[in-house]
């Protein structure tokens, strides 16, 4: 769908196109919905082939942030920023400063932090020019990736229970061994899960295989692995026409954002009897970490909140069984209901 059609279809409040020639900055800031609070969402930097591609990504990811916050009970709205460029080549101090100044001009309507291609050091550079950025401090005892992985672990525990078992002995095919994927793999291995892993970075896959006593497959073979759960922790859009017929698992549960290429793929998973734990419920640890970064919750409190993702997933899966509906449809319904109630309470249409 072209970006402008998508914009009205997804119901965004505001989208800002940013261009600063002298700093080499081209970016999109998408504010989806601020009913529950100011928009929160990371800033991503990728070499998008066009500004249209960047816009589509920002639109989809910011809508997912609204859903994530609503389901996690965080009083924030959904937003996301994407910067067009190759982080290893195009990222400069001037670019980060120029971007941060735009965030500052929004006056707190959008609060951001690191995402793919933007790390804590970049966020620290931005923080000199805007109050509306946060990140896990250097040397902090828990990082955003730790919390995201912990949330996925607890979600996986609930999925295993729903499948009639426990984590010990569960067979998981895990895609992506980056910041979150490797931490998750370590947690799962510690619980006695049998892992098959892959990463496009062969060295990373090799190291993890040795450390975790896991099996390893080539990146494209992960969809064919016979296992209990497929855990996507790399890219979005991995549940598609191309991959669905190949899956030989009973469930899907992972950290990647926007796993369904289109909503119909979630319906198709349901039709095939594959339990899909909705990405934005499972990976909410990343958003919850914001409360820790801002000092609203201490370490013990944040670990408790993130561990609660397991309970949330259990309730959702139970309700989906009762309603004979795919869990992601049930979750979308809950989000809509929460936003409707909040709008009514604020007297908004």
Cβ closest to ligand NAI, residue 114 vs residue 327:
114
Q: Which residue is nearest to ligand NAI (CB)?
A: 178
Query: Using CA atoms in the order 120, 126, 131, 135, what is the torsion angle rounded to 10 degrees?
Result: -10
* Distance of alpha carbon 82 from alpha carbon 78, whole angstroms: 14
Which stretches of 233-300 are assigned E, i.e. beta strand?
A: 251-252, 275-276
For the chain, give me the number of helices (H) and strands (E)? 13, 12
Q: Which is nearer to ligand NAI, 3 or 197 (CB)?
A: 197
Is 91 or 98 the residue whose CB approaches ligand NAI more closely? Answer: 91
CA angle 166, 334, 322 (to 5 degrees): 55
Residue closer to ligand NAI (CB basis): 148 or 250: 148
Give me the least distance between CB of 136 and ligand NAI, in Å please: 9
**DSSP 8-state class, residue 196:** E
- Min CB(32)–ligand NAI separation in Å: 16
| Distance of closest approach, residue 83 Cβ to ligand NAI, in angstroms | 15
- Alpha carbon distance 116, 44 (integer Å): 5
Name the residues that contact ligand NAI, by CB under 6 A.
116, 144-145, 148, 175-181, 198-201, 204, 219, 233-236, 255-257, 283, 286
- Give the helix/strand (H/E) hosting 172: strand 171-175
Catalytic residue among 63, 68, 80, 91: 80
Residue 98 or 222 with smaller CB distance to ligand NAI: 222
Least distance in Å: CB of 259 to ligand NAI?
8
Q: Is 63 a catalytic residue?
A: no
CB of 341 vs ligand NAI, minimal distance in Å: 26
Q: 46-53, long-range: CB within 8 Å, 24+ apart, which pairs?
A: 46/82, 46/83, 46/84, 46/85, 46/86, 46/87, 46/116, 46/117, 47/84, 47/85, 47/86, 47/90, 48/82, 48/84, 51/17, 51/26, 51/84, 52/2, 52/3
Residue numbers annotated as active site: 80
């Amino acid at each position: 769908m072209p970006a402008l059609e998508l914009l009205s279809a997804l119901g965004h409040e505001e989208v800002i196109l940013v261009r600063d020639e002298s700093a080499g900055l081209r970016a999109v800031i998408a504010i989806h919905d601020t009913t529950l609070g100011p928009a929160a969402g990371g800033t991503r930097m990728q070499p998008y082939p066009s500004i249209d591609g960047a816009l589509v990504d920002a639109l989809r990811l910011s809508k997912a942030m609204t859903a994530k916050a609503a389901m996690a009970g965080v009083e924030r709205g959904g937003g996301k920023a994407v910067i067009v460029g190759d982080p290893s080549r195009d990222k400069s101090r001037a670019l980060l400063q120029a971007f941060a100044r735009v965030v500052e001009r929004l006056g707190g309507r959008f609060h951001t932090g690191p995402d793919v291609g933007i790390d804590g050091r970049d966020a620290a550079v931005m923080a000199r020019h805007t109050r509306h950025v946060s990140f896990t401090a250097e040397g902090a005892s828990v990082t955003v990736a730790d919390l995201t992985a912990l949330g996925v672990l607890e979600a996986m525990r609930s999925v295993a229970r729903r499948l009639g078992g426990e984590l010990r002995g569960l067979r998981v095919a895990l895609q992506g061994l980056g910041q979150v994927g490797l931490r998750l793999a370590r947690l799962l291995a510690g619980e006695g899960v049998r892992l098959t892993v892959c990463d496009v970075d062969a060295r990373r896959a090799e190291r993890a295989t040795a450390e975790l006593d896991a099996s390893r497959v080539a990146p494209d073979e992960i969809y064919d692995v016979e296992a209990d759960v497929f855990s996507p922790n790399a890219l979005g859009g991995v549940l598609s026409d191309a991959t669905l017929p190949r899956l030989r698992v009973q469930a899907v549960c992972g950290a990647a954002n926007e796993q369904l290429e289109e909503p119909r793929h979630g319906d198709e998973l349901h039709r095939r009897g594959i339990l899909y734990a909705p990405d934005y419920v499972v990976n909410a640890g990343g958003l919850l970490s914001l409360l820790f970064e801002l000092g609203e919750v201490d370490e013990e409190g944040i670990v408790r909140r993130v561990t609660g993702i397991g309970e949330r997933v259990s309730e959702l899966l139970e309700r989906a069984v009762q309603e004979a509906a795919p869990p992601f449809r049930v979750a979308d319904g809950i989000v809509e209901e929460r936003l409707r109630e909040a709008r009514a309470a604020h007297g908004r249409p």
